[in-house]
Protein backbone atom coordinates (compact mmCIF):
# COMPACT_ATOMS: atom_id res chain seq x y z
CA UNK A 1 0.00 0.00 0.00
CA UNK A 2 1.28 3.47 -0.88
CA UNK A 3 0.58 6.68 1.07
CA UNK A 4 1.01 9.87 -0.95
CA UNK A 5 1.45 13.16 0.92
CA UNK A 6 0.78 16.43 -0.94
CA UNK A 7 1.06 14.62 -4.26
CA UNK A 8 0.86 16.61 -7.50
CA UNK A 9 -0.44 13.60 -9.39
CA UNK A 10 -3.30 14.25 -11.80
CA UNK A 11 -6.79 13.35 -10.66
CA UNK A 12 -6.96 10.58 -13.27
CA UNK A 13 -3.74 9.04 -11.98
CA UNK A 14 -4.76 9.55 -8.38
CA UNK A 15 -8.05 7.69 -8.83
CA UNK A 16 -6.30 4.71 -10.41
CA UNK A 17 -3.93 4.56 -7.44
CA UNK A 18 -6.85 4.78 -5.02
CA UNK A 19 -8.52 1.86 -6.78
CA UNK A 20 -5.34 -0.12 -6.08
CA UNK A 21 -5.52 0.63 -2.37
CA UNK A 22 -3.38 3.77 -2.07
CA UNK A 23 -4.16 6.58 0.36
CA UNK A 24 -3.64 10.28 -0.41
CA UNK A 25 -3.08 12.99 2.21
CA UNK A 26 -3.68 16.56 1.05
CA UNK A 27 -2.42 19.67 2.78
CA UNK A 28 -4.99 22.36 3.64
CA UNK A 29 -6.44 24.24 0.68
CA UNK A 30 -8.40 27.51 0.88
CA UNK A 31 -11.68 25.79 -0.02
CA UNK A 32 -11.19 23.02 2.53
CA UNK A 33 -10.34 25.55 5.23
CA UNK A 34 -13.52 27.49 4.48
CA UNK A 35 -15.56 24.28 4.71
CA UNK A 36 -14.01 23.40 8.06
CA UNK A 37 -14.52 26.93 9.37
CA UNK A 38 -18.18 26.82 8.38
CA UNK A 39 -18.60 23.53 10.22
CA UNK A 40 -16.78 24.69 13.35
CA UNK A 41 -18.80 27.92 13.53
CA UNK A 42 -22.06 26.02 13.23
CA UNK A 43 -21.06 23.45 15.85
CA UNK A 44 -19.83 26.14 18.25
CA UNK A 45 -23.04 28.15 17.88
CA UNK A 46 -25.10 25.03 18.51
CA UNK A 47 -23.30 24.18 21.76
CA UNK A 48 -22.82 27.78 22.99
CA UNK A 49 -21.94 28.77 25.67
CA UNK A 50 -20.20 25.40 26.07
CA UNK A 51 -17.21 24.31 24.04
CA UNK A 52 -18.21 21.52 21.64
CA UNK A 53 -14.92 19.80 22.46
CA UNK A 54 -15.79 19.36 26.14
CA UNK A 55 -19.59 19.69 26.24
CA UNK A 56 -19.85 15.99 27.09
CA UNK A 57 -18.45 16.80 30.54
CA UNK A 58 -21.60 18.71 31.53
CA UNK A 59 -24.38 17.68 29.13
CA UNK A 60 -26.43 14.48 29.38
CA UNK A 61 -26.03 12.33 26.28
CA UNK A 62 -29.69 12.85 25.34
CA UNK A 63 -29.26 16.64 25.21
CA UNK A 64 -26.07 16.34 23.19
CA UNK A 65 -27.84 14.05 20.70
CA UNK A 66 -30.63 16.63 20.42
CA UNK A 67 -28.14 19.39 19.58
CA UNK A 68 -26.33 17.28 17.01
CA UNK A 69 -29.61 16.20 15.44
CA UNK A 70 -30.35 19.86 14.75
CA UNK A 71 -26.96 21.15 13.62
CA UNK A 72 -25.82 18.28 11.41
CA UNK A 73 -28.65 18.60 8.85
CA UNK A 74 -28.18 22.37 8.79
CA UNK A 75 -24.57 21.89 7.76
CA UNK A 76 -25.47 19.27 5.15
CA UNK A 77 -27.89 21.64 3.43
CA UNK A 78 -25.99 24.90 3.91
CA UNK A 79 -25.49 26.45 0.44
CA UNK A 80 -21.97 27.58 1.33
CA UNK A 81 -20.93 23.97 2.00
CA UNK A 82 -21.45 23.01 -1.64
CA UNK A 83 -19.68 26.16 -2.79
CA UNK A 84 -16.61 25.38 -0.68
CA UNK A 85 -16.57 21.76 -1.86
CA UNK A 86 -16.54 23.02 -5.44
CA UNK A 87 -13.55 25.20 -4.60
CA UNK A 88 -11.71 22.39 -2.80
CA UNK A 89 -12.21 19.92 -5.64
CA UNK A 90 -11.07 22.48 -8.19
CA UNK A 91 -7.96 23.26 -6.14
CA UNK A 92 -7.07 19.57 -6.06
CA UNK A 93 -7.30 19.20 -9.82
CA UNK A 94 -10.71 17.54 -10.17
CA UNK A 95 -12.71 18.11 -13.35
CA UNK A 96 -15.95 19.60 -11.99
CA UNK A 97 -17.83 18.70 -15.18
CA UNK A 98 -17.22 15.00 -14.47
CA UNK A 99 -16.74 14.90 -10.70
CA UNK A 100 -19.87 14.26 -8.64
CA UNK A 101 -20.00 14.54 -4.85
CA UNK A 102 -22.49 13.67 -2.18
CA UNK A 103 -23.48 16.08 0.58
CA UNK A 104 -20.85 16.66 3.29
CA UNK A 105 -21.51 15.31 6.77
CA UNK A 106 -20.20 16.39 10.15
CA UNK A 107 -19.12 13.40 12.23
CA UNK A 108 -18.42 13.38 15.94
CA UNK A 109 -16.52 10.90 18.12
CA UNK A 110 -16.82 11.40 21.86
CA UNK A 111 -14.35 10.21 24.49
CA UNK A 112 -14.91 6.94 26.29
CA UNK A 113 -18.39 5.46 26.13
CA UNK A 114 -20.28 8.76 25.87
CA UNK A 115 -22.81 8.80 22.99
CA UNK A 116 -21.46 6.16 20.64
CA UNK A 117 -24.80 5.35 19.00
CA UNK A 118 -27.17 6.91 16.49
CA UNK A 119 -26.34 10.52 15.64
CA UNK A 120 -22.74 10.03 16.88
CA UNK A 121 -22.30 6.43 15.79
CA UNK A 122 -18.83 5.04 16.47
CA UNK A 123 -18.27 3.00 13.33
CA UNK A 124 -17.01 -0.53 13.64
CA UNK A 125 -14.54 -1.73 11.00
CA UNK A 126 -16.32 -1.65 7.65
CA UNK A 127 -16.04 -0.93 3.97
CA UNK A 128 -18.40 1.64 2.48
CA UNK A 129 -19.01 -0.85 -0.32
CA UNK A 130 -20.86 -2.98 2.27
CA UNK A 131 -23.31 -0.05 2.40
CA UNK A 132 -24.18 -0.10 -1.33
CA UNK A 133 -21.49 2.36 -2.43
CA UNK A 134 -20.19 1.88 -5.99
CA UNK A 135 -16.64 0.60 -6.27
CA UNK A 136 -15.55 3.82 -7.95
CA UNK A 137 -16.48 5.87 -4.88
CA UNK A 138 -13.65 7.87 -3.31
CA UNK A 139 -13.96 8.88 0.35
CA UNK A 140 -12.71 12.25 1.62
CA UNK A 141 -12.16 12.83 5.36
CA UNK A 142 -10.92 15.97 7.13
CA UNK A 143 -10.74 17.18 10.75
CA UNK A 144 -12.57 20.33 11.84
CA UNK A 145 -10.35 20.87 14.90
CA UNK A 146 -6.77 19.89 15.65
CA UNK A 147 -6.46 16.15 15.27
CA UNK A 148 -4.58 13.73 17.48
CA UNK A 149 -3.58 10.11 16.99
CA UNK A 150 -5.81 9.13 19.92
CA UNK A 151 -9.03 10.57 18.49
CA UNK A 152 -8.86 10.06 14.73
CA UNK A 153 -10.01 7.48 12.22
CA UNK A 154 -8.17 4.21 11.59
CA UNK A 155 -7.54 2.47 8.29
CA UNK A 156 -6.88 -1.26 8.05
CA UNK A 157 -5.17 -1.76 4.67
CA UNK A 158 -4.09 -5.33 5.43
CA UNK A 159 -7.64 -6.31 4.44
CA UNK A 160 -7.56 -4.50 1.09
CA UNK A 161 -7.49 -7.75 -0.88
CA UNK A 162 -8.57 -10.10 1.89
CA UNK A 163 -12.18 -11.21 2.14
CA UNK A 164 -14.00 -10.85 5.46
CA UNK A 165 -17.19 -12.69 6.35
CA UNK A 166 -19.70 -9.88 6.87
CA UNK A 167 -23.37 -8.98 6.99
CA UNK A 168 -23.58 -6.93 3.81
CA UNK A 169 -25.91 -9.44 2.15
CA UNK A 170 -28.64 -8.25 4.51
CA UNK A 171 -28.21 -4.57 3.70
CA UNK A 172 -30.17 -2.59 1.13
CA UNK A 173 -29.55 1.14 0.81
CA UNK A 174 -33.08 2.04 -0.21
CA UNK A 175 -34.53 0.12 2.73
CA UNK A 176 -32.08 1.90 5.05
CA UNK A 177 -33.20 5.29 3.77
CA UNK A 178 -36.83 4.35 4.30
CA UNK A 179 -36.59 2.70 7.70
CA UNK A 180 -33.41 3.69 9.55
CA UNK A 181 -31.63 6.84 8.40
CA UNK A 182 -33.99 9.44 9.86
CA UNK A 183 -34.25 8.08 13.41
CA UNK A 184 -30.56 8.19 14.28
CA UNK A 185 -31.01 10.68 17.13
CA UNK A 186 -33.34 8.25 18.91
CA UNK A 187 -30.48 5.76 19.43
CA UNK A 188 -28.69 7.24 22.44
CA UNK A 189 -27.82 4.30 24.70
CA UNK A 190 -27.52 1.65 22.01
CA UNK A 191 -27.93 1.45 18.24
CA UNK A 192 -30.30 -1.33 17.21
CA UNK A 193 -30.31 -0.53 13.50
CA UNK A 194 -29.05 -3.34 11.31
CA UNK A 195 -25.73 -2.42 9.74
CA UNK A 196 -23.15 -4.58 7.94
CA UNK A 197 -20.28 -5.59 10.19
CA UNK A 198 -17.61 -8.30 10.28
CA UNK A 199 -19.00 -11.70 11.22
CA UNK A 200 -15.65 -13.27 12.01
CA UNK A 201 -12.76 -12.16 14.23
CA UNK A 202 -10.49 -9.64 12.50
CA UNK A 203 -7.15 -8.13 13.45
CA UNK A 204 -7.39 -4.32 13.59
CA UNK A 205 -3.66 -3.93 14.12
CA UNK A 206 -1.47 -2.96 12.49
CA UNK A 207 -3.59 0.05 11.61
CA UNK A 208 -2.91 3.38 9.93
CA UNK A 209 -3.89 6.60 11.73
CA UNK A 210 -3.16 9.71 9.68
CA UNK A 211 -2.89 12.96 11.62
CA UNK A 212 -3.43 15.86 9.24
CA UNK A 213 -4.03 19.54 10.07
CA UNK A 214 -7.37 21.32 10.02
CA UNK A 215 -8.32 21.72 6.37
CA UNK A 216 -6.10 18.82 5.42
CA UNK A 217 -7.86 15.86 3.88
CA UNK A 218 -7.21 12.30 3.08
CA UNK A 219 -8.69 10.21 0.33
CA UNK A 220 -9.19 6.47 0.25
CA UNK A 221 -11.28 4.03 -1.71
CA UNK A 222 -14.76 3.09 -0.51
CA UNK A 223 -13.46 -0.49 -0.50
CA UNK A 224 -10.80 0.32 2.11
CA UNK A 225 -11.58 -1.14 5.55
CA UNK A 226 -11.74 1.62 8.16
CA UNK A 227 -13.17 2.32 11.61
CA UNK A 228 -13.63 4.96 14.29
CA UNK A 229 -10.54 4.75 16.49
CA UNK A 230 -11.31 4.63 20.23
CA UNK A 231 -11.22 8.23 21.47
CA UNK A 232 -8.94 8.35 24.52
CA UNK A 233 -8.01 12.03 24.12
CA UNK A 234 -10.56 13.49 26.55
CA UNK A 235 -11.96 15.85 23.87
CA UNK A 236 -14.53 15.26 21.16
CA UNK A 237 -13.33 14.81 17.61
CA UNK A 238 -15.35 16.55 14.88
CA UNK A 239 -14.69 15.79 11.24
CA UNK A 240 -16.21 16.15 7.79
CA UNK A 241 -16.56 13.42 5.25
CA UNK A 242 -17.88 13.37 1.73
CA UNK A 243 -17.62 11.06 -1.27
CA UNK A 244 -17.00 11.53 -4.96
CA UNK A 245 -17.34 9.55 -8.16
CA UNK A 246 -16.04 10.38 -11.62
CA UNK A 247 -18.45 10.08 -14.55
CA UNK A 248 -15.95 8.24 -16.76
CA UNK A 249 -15.39 5.61 -14.07
CA UNK A 250 -19.11 5.27 -13.42
CA UNK A 251 -19.81 4.64 -17.10
CA UNK A 252 -16.84 2.29 -17.52
CA UNK A 253 -17.54 0.55 -14.20
CA UNK A 254 -13.91 1.08 -13.22
CA UNK A 255 -13.11 0.94 -9.52
CA UNK A 256 -11.68 -1.06 -6.66
CA UNK A 257 -12.05 -4.85 -6.68
CA UNK A 258 -14.97 -6.44 -4.86
CA UNK A 259 -13.55 -8.96 -2.41
CA UNK A 260 -16.54 -9.47 -0.10
CA UNK A 261 -19.46 -7.05 -0.63
CA UNK A 262 -22.90 -8.59 -1.20
CA UNK A 263 -25.32 -5.72 -0.47
CA UNK A 264 -28.17 -4.64 -2.72
CA UNK A 265 -29.37 -1.23 -3.80
CA UNK A 266 -27.06 1.63 -4.68
CA UNK A 267 -26.07 5.12 -3.54
CA UNK A 268 -25.53 6.18 -7.15
CA UNK A 269 -28.44 8.65 -7.01
CA UNK A 270 -26.86 10.69 -4.20
CA UNK A 271 -24.03 12.35 -6.11
CA UNK A 272 -24.20 15.91 -7.44
CA UNK A 273 -22.18 17.30 -10.33
CA UNK A 274 -19.44 19.70 -9.31
CA UNK A 275 -20.69 22.44 -11.64
CA UNK A 276 -24.47 22.65 -11.28
CA UNK A 277 -25.33 20.06 -8.59
CA UNK A 278 -27.36 17.94 -11.01
CA UNK A 279 -27.57 14.18 -10.54
CA UNK A 280 -25.69 11.69 -12.68
CA UNK A 281 -27.25 11.00 -16.09
CA UNK A 282 -30.05 8.44 -15.98
CA UNK A 283 -28.16 6.02 -18.22
CA UNK A 284 -25.21 6.12 -15.83
CA UNK A 285 -27.40 5.49 -12.77
CA UNK A 286 -29.22 2.67 -14.55
CA UNK A 287 -25.98 0.69 -14.73
CA UNK A 288 -26.06 0.31 -10.93
CA UNK A 289 -29.76 -0.22 -10.30
CA UNK A 290 -30.91 -3.72 -9.42
CA UNK A 291 -34.67 -3.17 -9.12
CA UNK A 292 -34.74 -2.92 -5.33
CA UNK A 293 -35.10 0.86 -5.54
CA UNK A 294 -38.75 0.29 -6.46
CA UNK A 295 -39.48 -1.89 -3.43
CA UNK A 296 -39.18 1.06 -1.06
CA UNK A 297 -40.08 4.76 -1.06
CA UNK A 298 -38.58 6.36 -4.13
CA UNK A 299 -35.12 7.83 -3.58
CA UNK A 300 -33.07 10.12 -5.89
CA UNK A 301 -31.85 6.93 -7.53
CA UNK A 302 -35.32 6.25 -8.88
CA UNK A 303 -36.12 9.79 -9.99
Q: Check whether 103 has a pLDDT greater than 90.
A: yes
Residue 302: is its pLDDT beyond 50?
A: no
Sorting pLDDT into bands at 50, 70 and 90, what band is 184? very low
Work out the end-to-end distance of the chain between its first and last CA atoms, rounded to an integer number of angstroms: 39
Segment 101-110 mean pLDDT: 94
- Residue 277's pLDDT band, with cuts at 50, 70 and 90, is very high
pTM over 0.85: yes
Indicate whether 303 pLDDT > 80. Answer: no
Q: Are 129 and 258 in contact (CB under 8 A)?
A: yes
Q: What percent of the chain has pLDDT over 90?
A: 80
| Domains in the chain: ranges and CATH | 3-302 (2.60.120)
- pLDDT exceeds cutoff 60 at 45: yes
Classified as helix, coil or strand, 14 is helix
pLDDT band at 68 (very low <50, low <70, confident <90, very high): very high
| Average pLDDT of the segment spanning 29-52 | 97
CA distances to 111, 112, 141, 149, 226 from 235, rounded to whole Å, are: 6, 10, 19, 12, 21
Is beta strand 237-246 parallel, antiparallel or unpaired with respect to 138-143?
antiparallel
Amino acid sequence: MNIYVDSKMSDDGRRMELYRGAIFVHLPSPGALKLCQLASEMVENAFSPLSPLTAHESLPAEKCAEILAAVKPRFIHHPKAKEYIQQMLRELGCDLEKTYFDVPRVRSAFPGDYLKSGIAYAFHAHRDTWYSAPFCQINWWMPIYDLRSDNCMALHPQYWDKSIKNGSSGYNYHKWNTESRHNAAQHVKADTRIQPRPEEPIELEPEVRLVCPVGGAYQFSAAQLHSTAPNTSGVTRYSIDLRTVHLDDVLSRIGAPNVDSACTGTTIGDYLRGTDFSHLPKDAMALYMDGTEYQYALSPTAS
